[in-house]
Structure 1
Amino acid sequence: MRGIFVVLGVVLSSLACTGAAAAGTLETVVVPSRFVDAKRVALGAPPPGGAPRANSLAVNVLLPDGYAANPRGRYPVLYLLHGAAQAYDHWAADGYGEIRKRARDFPGIVVMPQGGVAGFYSDWVGPGGPRWESYILRELIPAIEARYRVRPGRRWHAIAGLSMGGYGTMYLAGQRPDYFGSAASFSGVLSPQDDQQLDLVAQSILGLAIPDFRYREIFGPPDGFNAIGHNPSLTLGNLAATRLFVSAGNAAPCAGDDVAPTDFTGLGPQGSPAFAPPLAALEGPALFYFLETLVRNETDRFIARSEAAGLKPTKLLGCGIHWWDTFNRGFDAARRWDFFAPPPKAPAAWTFTTAARSGVAWGFRFSLDRPATALTVLERRGRRLRGTGAGTLRISARGGCRLTATLPFDRRLPKRCS
């Protein structure tokens, strides 16, 4: 970790609000990375009216009202992820997320990181590709906790996002169920691998609009182990102890919604000419209607599989297209649902599935001796730990717990492995 630095300082110190507490301070910081080279990845352009900025892994952090006046206080944290063709500052921009108004009286810290134009919050399989998952889980979270007074405990750590960020929400929450107690998706891409016919159409459209979107360089073959391991609707055991919220529209605008959004400025200078004026006035709205049809189908599939697995996601399904009116309705409903309500207790028995080479499963840190060639599945039942996959797995936990085993294995854990 090369540290975390304030680069733009305090953007907003407070907002006055009649009859309600003011919103807190909005800071912009940079969290550099050894996993993502900001100069080599496509980062979304500023929202309309936003100031030009250099390519960097910038993060907006909204601090709750009274944070500075309470130097001993610790606060819940919500990681809020942006969508494709957007950037870290869209959640705070006027006419978009307007988080300073939307999160007025919010009891916790809101962290809005950079995720790339189409990074999908994943470690890409393509040679030299960015490793967004490693950045978020191994660099961003520790940096935020080192700088800000984050309250410990799963209950006080939530993650949410829209569209691509909805995907990142459920995927990252599933990779760190020991850290995140609640996860909320707003029009999220929740089943990106197993409905290939529909997704291939989406990929061709996004390939035109977002040159950085290359499915196989991100996930590999659609029927491969890595794509399966990155499909939240196929790894639901990882979310068995996580509170879940999902929302999506039906591609029909609600009353008062923007029915013809055409803003593609988030694509930046690499945006496709196919979506530049005057064609954007015709093609743009059609894309936003189509995308909500896609994510609604994927959300429905995620819900059905979740409920079949015994999970109980809270749902908001109604009108809306793939635009900020719909995303913001989802966020507002998730606030009422409460990002920081108590999650289920950490389970004594659990199953964890991953395509990653290393990670954390309920306090057990693991790493393979070589890049993964198959899904790794760990299953704990009492004192027994079972694993399937390929390669040699090294596991460690608190108390001096150490284990090295060749997959597959079935071991009785030593007493020091709590």
Structure 2
Amino acid sequence: MRSRMMCGRVALRRAAAGLVLALALPFGVAAVGLEATAGARMNPAGMDFWVDSSMGPIKSRVFRAADGNTRRVVYALDGLRARNDLSGWEIDTEVSRVLTDWNINVVMPVGGQSSFYSDWVAPSNTNGQRTTYAWETFLTQDLRWALRDRLGLNPNGNGVFGLSMGGSAALALAAYHPEQFRYAGSYSGYLNISAPGMREGLRLALLDAGGFNIDAMWGPPWDPRWLRNDPFMFAPLLRQNGTRLWIATGNGVNGPRDVIKAPMDVFHLGNSMALETVALANTRAFQARVDSIGGLNAVFDYTPVGVHGWRYWEDQVYKMLPDLSAHLG
């Protein structure tokens, strides 16, 4: 009996070490290093929409629905290496063109590298950050009401989706702001942040993506903010709210679309495979948690192949689109 227990502890330590190693790999490399969707580019139909906040002026990109309606609105959240000029959704995909053709207004916040789109407890003391991240407040207060007052967009019953960091954040926004977000989509999200090794891995990942100190985000590991932002823990809120969810992840296996054109692509692909394997384990754990509380109003989509990259996330938007459209406006 003792031998079996010791073996179990060893296995747990090895699994935790594997999670740390995978998460320590650069989160955004997989999304940037391999060739993006053919023809993806800045969409001239988008407008720069600046809103003041406690973080200073923040830009979002807004794409209006083809039929001119103001009722149907969805927010698209970026990943860990979010840039300050354009969202990765605009740079690397065509979703801003496709969703607007479905008569959906698209809002793409710009910036927020390593933020998890949450309200932090302090500025990071490891990279010279001067203002405290307050992305949850920005998205649910500053931006929300500015879109209503200046563009007439519906502030209620919106959708939100995101990849990786943005996927986890999309579920948190829907859990704590159900009047604003009735629909949430997570692609390759980290949905079991309290799992062994995850906090240590995320610490290394934030240092790699911008030099951020994760203690400035949700405090030390024992701070209750960690549990507040863990989808595994707040799943009952999503059930209580009746939020419609679309949860998707690949399995870490690359496919024919992952073309290797340069030596560094091999490195990037290896990173993306490892990260997606972690996302898969997190998503399976989240679904088990959901099943234990009686289920959610959710679609879980596990693709037969798929790594941590824009091709697969764009595919998921299009697969989700009919369901999203049916629940907006």
TM (norm. structure 1) is 0.60
CA distance in 2, matches of 1:222, 1:179: 29
| Residue identity in the other structure for 1:302 | F
Change over 3 Å in CA distance of 1:82–1:341 after alignment to 2: same
1:3-402 superposed matches below 5 A: 25-34=45-54, 36-37=55-56, 57-67=58-68, 73-87=69-83, 88-93=86-91, 96-103=92-99, 105-126=101-122, 129-151=132-154, 153-154=156-157, 157-192=158-193, 194-204=194-204, 206-207=205-206, 209-240=208-239, 241-255=242-256, 257-260=257-260, 280-310=264-294, 311-318=296-303, 319-341=305-327
Change over 3 Å in CA distance of 1:329–1:121 after alignment to 2: same
CA distance in 1, matches of 2:66, 2:301: 29
Q: What is the CA deviation profile of residues 305-344 of structure 1, one whole-angstrom value per residue up to 9, with x for unaligned ones? A: 122222142011112100011111211111022244279x
Shift of 1:203: 3.5
Shift of 1:103: 2.1
1:386 maps to what in 2?
none
Give yes or no for contact 1:27–1:62 (8 Å, CA) kept in 2.
yes
Larger Rg computed on CA atoms: 1
Q: What is the CA deviation profile of residues 62-89 of structure 1, one whole-angstrom value per residue up to 9, with x for unaligned ones? A: 101132xxxxx53210011111112343
SS in 2 for 1:74: coil
SS in 1 for 2:185: strand
2:11 maps to what in 1?
none
SS in 1 for 2:273: helix
Structure 2, unaligned runs of 5 or more: 1-42, 124-130
Shift of 1:130: 1.4
Q: What is the CA deviation profile of residues 378-411 of structure 1, one whole-angstrom value per residue up to 9, with x for unaligned ones? A: xxxxxxxxxxxxxxxxxxxxxxxxxxxxxxxxxx
Shift of 1:172: 0.9
Q: Which protein has greater RCO, CA pairs closer than 8 Å, 6+ apart?
A: 2
Give yes or no for contact 2:145–2:155 (8 Å, CA) kept in 1.
no
CA distance in 1, matches of 2:213, 2:260: 27
CA distance in 2, matches of 1:342, 1:58: 24
Q: What is the CA deviation profile of residues 63-122 of structure 1, one whole-angstrom value per residue up to 9, with x for unaligned ones? A: 01132xxxxx532100111111123432112xx122244325222210000241111111
CA distance in 2, matches of 1:115, 1:309: 35
Give yes or no for contact 1:250–1:293 (8 Å, CA) kept in 2.
yes
CA distance in 2, matches of 1:190, 1:91: 21
1:360 maps to what in 2?
none
Q: Matched residue pairs, number?
A: 274
Shift of 1:185: 0.7
Shift of 1:261: 9.0
- Range 123-132 or range 80-89, more displaced: 123-132
Give yes or no for contact 1:260–1:284 (8 Å, CA) kept in 2.
no
Q: Which has the higher strand share?
A: 1
| Residue identity in the other structure for 1:317 | Y
CA distance in 2, matches of 1:101, 1:317: 26
CA distance in 2, matches of 1:340, 1:148: 23
Structure 1, unaligned runs of 5 or more: 1-22, 38-55, 68-72, 263-277, 344-418
SS in 1 for 2:284: helix
Give yes or no for contact 1:160–1:169 (8 Å, CA) kept in 2.
yes
Shift of 1:24: 9.6
1:413 maps to what in 2?
none
Shift of 1:208: 5.3
Give yes or no for contact 1:251–1:293 (8 Å, CA) kept in 2.
yes
| Residue identity in the other structure for 1:322 | H
Shift of 1:282: 5.0
Q: CA RMSD in A?
A: 2.5
CA distance in 2, matches of 1:247, 1:261: 27
Give yes or no for contact 1:190–1:232 (8 Å, CA) kept in 2.
yes
Q: What is the CA deviation profile of residues 233-260 of structure 1, one whole-angstrom value per residue up to 9, with x for unaligned ones? A: 20122212101110100111233x2255
Percent pairwise identity: 26
Change over 3 Å in CA distance of 1:338–1:261 after alignment to 2: farther
Q: Which has the higher helix share?
A: 2
SS in 2 for 1:181: strand
